[in-house]
A and B are shown apart, each in its own frame.
Chain A
Amino acid sequence: DAKTTQPTSMDCAEGRAANLPCNHSTISGNEYVYWYRQIHSQGPQYIIHGLKNNETNEMASLIITEDRKSSTLILPHATLRDTAVYYCIEKNAGGTSYGKLTFGQGTILTVHP
C-alpha cells in the first residue's frame, strides 16, 4: 500500500505556480521521493526525484523538508497541459528492492484559464 498522503484535488490558475504537497512521515533513510504525473489514458510521466536536498529540473522543483517527512512539488508556471493526476511515491533505492513503484491515489491538479 502507498505510504504517502496527498490532497485529493487542487486547482491552479494558468500561469501561476502550482504547489503540490505530499506527506511521507514514515520514510526511511534510504528511500527517495519520486513524483510522477498521469494524464488520462496515458502512461505515467516521470517528473523529478530527490533524497534530502532540493532538486530542480526543466519540469519542476522539489522541496523536501529537513526532517524528510514531507515534500512539495512546484510547477513554476502552470499551463492547461499540466492538468493531470500527480503521484508522490517513496522508493527504496538500495538493498534487495527490485524497484517496484507503489502508486497511491494521487492529487488531481486542474489548471484553469
Chain B
Amino acid sequence: DGGITQSPKYLFRKEGQNVTLSCEQNLNHDAMYWYRQDPGQGLRLIYYSQIVNDFQKGDIAEGYSVSREKKESFPLTVTSAQKNPTAFYLCASAKQGTRNQPQHFGDGTRLSIL
C-alpha cells in the first residue's frame, strides 16, 4: 500500500549524541515536511523540501538538519545542539504543482533523552 513510513517508532538519545529519524514515502510526492509535536501542543514546522536536493528551514530549525537526496526519502537529524529534543516527530508529504494538495502524515517517531 502507498504511504509514509517513519522509523523507528521509539528512539532514545544520550546527551551529546546525534540521532537520525527516517521518513520514506512511496506516494510519488514532491514535497516533504518535518514537524515536531510537544505534549498538548500543536505541530511546529522544522524543515520542508519541495524538490530533490533542495530544502528550507521552517519555524524551529535550530538544532536540526535534513537532506533530500532522493524523492522518496527525507531524513531528519537531531543534533546535540538541540537542547530539548524530547518530542513526537512527524513527517508529512504532499503533491506539488496543483493547488491545495493535502499533506499526509506518517505515524511518527517518539524521541526521548536517556
Contact = CB atoms under 8 A, between A and B. Distances in A.
A94 B100 CA distance: 8
B16 interface: no
Interface residues of A, number: 23
Interface in B39-76: 40, 42-43, 45, 48, 50, 56, 58-59
Given A43-B105, A43-B107, A105-B42, A100 B48 contact: yes
Interface string B68-106: 000000000000000000001010101000011011111
Contacts of B45: 100-101
A68 interface: no
Contacts of B40: 105
Interface of B: 4, 6, 31, 33, 35, 40, 42-43, 45, 48, 50, 56, 58-59, 88, 90, 92, 94, 99-100, 102-108, 110
Given A44-B90, A49-B102, 13 more contacts: A41-B88, A42-B107, A43-B107, A46-B104, A87-B42, A94-B99, A99-B33, A99-B48, A101-B35, A101-B92, A101-B103, A102-B42, A103-B42
25 contacts: A32-B100, A41-B108, A42-B108, A43-B90, A43-B92, A43-B107, A43-B108, A44-B90, A44-B105, A46-B102, A49-B102, A87-B42, A93-B100, A98-B48, A99-B33, A99-B48, A99-B94, A100-B33, A100-B58, A100-B59, A101-B45, A101-B103, A102-B42, A105-B40, A105-B42
Interface of A: 2, 32, 34, 41-46, 49, 87, 91, 93-94, 98-106
Q: Give the 9 A-B residue pairs with the shortest CB-CB distance, closest first.
A: A43-B105, A103-B42, A93-B100, A46-B102, A93-B99, A103-B43, A100-B45, A43-B107, A44-B105
